[in-house]
Amino acid sequence: MSVTSPRWDAIKAVWAVVLGPVLKATLPYPDLRRRRQIRREARRLVTRDPWPGNDATRVQLAQLALIRALWLQRETRRAARHGEAAALLARAALETCFVGLYCLYADDPLTAMQGGNARAMRRMLANLGHGDIITDDVLTAMEAEIGGNGKLPDMRKTAEAIAKALKGAPFPINLYWRMYVPLSEFFVHANGISLLRHVGAEGKILDEPAYPWARRCALRIADGCMGLLAAAIAHAEGHPSERLGKYADDHMVRALAPLAVISGKGFFRSFGPAKVAALVKGVVDLRAYNISGRADSDTWEDRARFIRTWFARHLGAYGEGSEEIWDLYIDRLVTVLAGPPPSAKRTEGNPNDPEGG
């Protein structure tokens, strides 16, 4: 079989979409010296004291978000060995990045932020307003003193507003759906997905939940968010932003979404250097199977069996999880690589057949 055949192109596509990102997400990316340089460069973008209060400009609001992003970056690294904490901090870094960019590009971010602060203050003190400690009139007066109107939009609307301000730039909405939503569902909200992390193979209850992410990804999200916000502020202020933007891109591209392991197989829990080497060798073997001509001479059933066994060996034996979801995922990859099954064996509504419904 030719190296440029459709089937080899499919293997390269699976490498680009599945295996390549896994390696980028799990292998180390040493950048201590560069990170220190970038952090110093980002910190210099922040205006010194005193804070101007209600006279703050949109850039100064974004700078305040950058200070928090720098702190979250450091705290995420400190929590690197505690996966759950690092994931929560990475989500906070994403949220801070979104708010900072919104402050740069929205029409009147200060008024919205003041209004949000007033609403938050009233909600936090509402329990005191039911007695004689703080009356409702006092709460109303405090809210009026803070001022502002409205509130900051939710994260989805924030991402959409940033994308619109940047003339349709895709990265804000991409970050929201690819990273922010899965992190919220897996780690923040108490829902079916987060609770089922405590259910392992054969229904075994796990004291420690399955970790549906690569631990290094939390660090890269925090690094990327800081760099992204710093680059935007530098550009807005007329300072060079290329190094900051490149730093953000280099880290974001190495962050794999938690959704990539939604099967719950615990892939990353035991994914070390030895298995990286085995995975690379496996890809070489898969390529040899195709270019040797064996894939063409095999029946579709034999070809599908070989590919299914390959995926089960290299991607399917890394922990506990939902066998049903994992099987659906593997079935789809088999269909991509082996081609659709013979038409005589297709059944209407077969989920593995792209044309069968």
For the full predicted model, state whether its pTM sits above 0.75: no
> pLDDT value at position 200?
77
Kindly report which listed range (106-120, 164-178, 250-264, 282-296) carries the lowest average pLDDT score. 250-264
Higher-scoring residue by pLDDT: 10, 339? 339
Whether residue 261 is predicted with pLDDT greater than 70 in this model: the reply is: no
Kindly report, residue by residue over 111-169, the tens digit of the pLDDT: 888 777 777 777 777 776 565 667 677 767 776 666 666 778 899 999 999 999 999 99
Average pLDDT estimate for 183-200: 87
Average pLDDT estimate for 251-278: 62
Average pLDDT estimate for 252-277: 60
Whether residue 229 is predicted with pLDDT greater than 80 in this model: the reply is: yes
Average pLDDT estimate for 35-44: 97
Local confidence band at 308 (pLDDT 50, 70, 90 cut-offs): confident
CA 169/CA 174 separation, integer angstroms: 10
* Percent of the chain whose predicted confidence (pLDDT) is above 90: 37
Whether residue 192 is predicted with pLDDT greater than 90 in this model: the reply is: no
Whether residue 270 is predicted with pLDDT greater than 80 in this model: the reply is: no
> pLDDT value at position 107?
84
**Cα angle, residue 217 at apex, residues 242 and 240 outer, rounded to 5°:** 10
Residue among 206, 257, 208, 253 at smallest CA distance from 228:
253
Whether residue 351 is predicted with pLDDT greater than 60 in this model: the reply is: no
Query: What are the structure tokens assigned to 7, written together?
Result: 């089937």
> pLDDT value at position 165?
94
Whether residue 234 is predicted with pLDDT greater than 90 in this model: the reply is: yes
Kindly report, residue by residue over 51-107, the tens digit of the pLDDT: 898 889 999 999 999 999 999 999 999 999 898 999 999 999 999 999 999 999 988
Kindly report, residue by residue over 315-347, the tens digit of the pLDDT: 654 444 455 556 666 676 677 667 777 753 444
Q: Residue 98 burial (CB < 10 Å; 0-12/13-18/19+)? A: buried
For the chain, the structural domain boundaries read 1-27+265-357, 30-253
Q: What is the mean pLDDT of the chain?
A: 79
Whether residue 354 is predicted with pLDDT greater than 50 in this model: the reply is: no
> pLDDT value at position 207?
93
> pLDDT value at position 33?
95
Whether residue 31 is predicted with pLDDT greater than 50 in this model: the reply is: yes
> pLDDT value at position 319?
42
CA 62/CA 73 separation, integer angstroms: 16
